[in-house]
């Protein structure tokens, strides 16, 4: 009898990722890397900020189309949400760096010039033009600009005009950004400064990170719904007869049309004794069926009696002898039991329809 091998023995089991000290370590050899450093001199390396909304291959295909380059640009996926672009011309590389920051699919993209360093946090820097709002006019000075830039990141450029004060600094795209800061003065006073980032896309308004939205923030406290004070849902159909409103005559008013429909269909009670949703009796059933006389009626009055059609305006000029082929209309016995106003109303509607039919026959 042959032995059945398990999935693990066949090598088909799910491979578990090693964690902690279980990962295998390999020692890198010592050799000269100067040639490889020179070969990657014209290379940009980038990183995604939101791996759930951004795809590396889609970014590599679309991002170079926004660059006004003269030479060729080749992109590649480096794994772990990182990628690279290799240029043929250095001026193209500098032009791309000068137009930062970039975004893809409404999320920021980190893009830096490659350097021969070993770090898990490289690349991470994003340059932003930041407009300083709330800074006192007599403090729009280079010393104040350098002080604020030193606290926020690395200063690349600044612009002070008669209407605005802007700084261009490199900030860490993997850390929370700063949206507000407080300036303390030597006099003991302070001022709240708002930092407005130009070209900033989606970010979390709670923890101020660029990797997720406020609704998906892991540090945001979750609200727990307290169901102890919530009353259970009540089925309206399960209300008792005492909870239903009573009519002045003591009858119970039904609150559902479906109940009346159910009673009238299955109890088999007479139509006149059935009640509507307000508790009122239906009354006598009105039949809308017309009884037509046979076309083979050979009575003399059926052939010779003229048909007088009276229009709603009282005009009696439309006359036509009834032919044997024309069916004779008669009201059923149920119409005779109707009140006079109902009988007249239904007869008037029949005469109007009949008069219209004869009018078209005469004029044709």
Write down the pLDDT at residue 300: 47
pLDDT for 23: 86
User: All domains of the chain, ordered by start, with CATH?
Assistant: 34-113 (3.30.70.330), 125-215 (3.30.70), 252-286 (no CATH), 289-332 (no CATH)
pLDDT in tens, 181-201: 999 999 899 999 999 999 999
pLDDT of residue 284: 65
Tokens representing residue 333 in the block: 């016995």
Using omega within 30 degrees of 0 as the cis cutoff, is the peptide bond preceding 123 cis? yes
pLDDT band at residue 4 using 50, 70 and 90 as cut-offs: low
* Residues 215-242 pLDDT 10s: 999 998 877 665 555 555 555 455 444 4
Average pLDDT over residues 10-15: 51
Q: List 103's β-bridge partners, or say none.
A: 108
pLDDT for 208: 96
Burial of residue 49 (CB within 10 Å: 0-12, 13-18, 19+) is buried
Burial of 7 (0-12, 13-18, 19+ CB in 10 A): exposed
Question: Nearest CA to 163 among 140, 192, 194, 188?
Answer: 140
3-state secondary structure 50-118: CCCCCCHHHHHHHHHHHCCCCCCEEEEEEECCEEEEEECCHHHHHHHHHCCCEEECCEEEEEEECCCCC
DSSP codes joined into one string, 113-164: E--S---TT-S-EEEEEEEEES--GGG-SHHHHHHHHHHHSEEEEEEE-SS-
Mean pLDDT for 89-96 is 96
The CB-side HSE value for 137 (13 A sphere, CA atoms) comes to: 3
| Residue 154 confidence (pLDDT) above 90 | yes
- Which range (46-60, 70-84, 150-164, 264-278) has the least confidence? 264-278
Mean pLDDT, rounded, for 152-179: 95
Q: Which pLDDT score, from 0 to 100, does residue 111 have?
A: 97
Nearest to 167 by CA among 143, 202, 189, 203: 143
| Residue-wise pLDDT tens digits, 304-318 | 444 444 544 444 444
| 51: nearest Cα among 96, 127, 113, 108 | 108
Three-class SS state of 357: helix
Kindly give, in sequence order, each residue whose CB lies less than 8 Å from that of residue 39, ignoring residues fewer than 6 positions away.
Answer: none
CA 93/CA 113 separation, integer angstroms: 8
d(CA 319, CA 306): 7
Between 132 and 299, residue with greater pLDDT: 132
Tokens of 40: 């990657």
């Amino acid at each position: 009898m042959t032995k059945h091998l398990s999935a693990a023995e066949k090598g088909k089991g799910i491979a578990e990722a090693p964690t902690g000290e279980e990962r295998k370590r390999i020692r890198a050899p010592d050799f000269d890397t100067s040639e490889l450093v020179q070969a990657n001199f014209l290379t940009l390396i980038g990183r995604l900020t939101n791996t759930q909304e951004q795809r590396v291959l889609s970014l590599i295909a679309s991002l170079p189309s926004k660059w006004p380059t003269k030479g060729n640009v080749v992109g590649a996926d480096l794994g772990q949400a990182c990628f690279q672009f290799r240029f043929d011309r250095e001026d193209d590389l500098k032009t791309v760096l000068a137009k930062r920051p970039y975004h893809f699919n409404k999320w920021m993209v980190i893009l830096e010039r490659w350097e021969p360093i070993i770090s898990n946090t490289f690349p991470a820097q994003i340059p932003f033009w930041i407009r300083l709002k709330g800074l006192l006019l007599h403090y729009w000075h280079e010393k104040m600009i350098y002080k604020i830039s030193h606290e926020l990141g690395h200063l690349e450029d600044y612009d002070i005009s008669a209407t605005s004060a802007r700084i261009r600094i490199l900030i860490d795209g993997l850390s929370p950004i700063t949206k507000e800061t407080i300036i303390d003065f030597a006099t003991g006073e302070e001022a709240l400064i708002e930092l407005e980032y130009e070209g900033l896309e989606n970010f979390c308004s709670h923890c101020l990170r660029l990797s997720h939205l406020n609704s998906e923030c892991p540090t945001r406290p979750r609200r727990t719904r307290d169901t102890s004070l919530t009353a259970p849902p009540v089925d309206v159909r399960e209300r008792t007869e005492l909870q239903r409103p009573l009519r002045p005559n003591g009858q119970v008013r039904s609150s559902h049309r479906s109940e009346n429909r159910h009673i009238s269909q299955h109890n088999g009670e007479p139509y006149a004794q059935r009640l509507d949703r307000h508790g009122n009796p239906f009354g006598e059933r009105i039949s809308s069926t017309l009884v037509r006389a046979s076309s083979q009626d050979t009575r003399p009055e059926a052939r010779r009696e003229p048909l007088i059609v009276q229009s709603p305006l009282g005009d009696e000029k439309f006359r036509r002898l009834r032919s044997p082929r024309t069916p004779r209309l008669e009201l059923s016995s149920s119409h005779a039991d109707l009140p006079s106003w109902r009988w007249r109303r239904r007869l008037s509607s029949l005469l109007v329809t009949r008069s219209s039919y004869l009018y078209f026959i005469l004029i044709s």
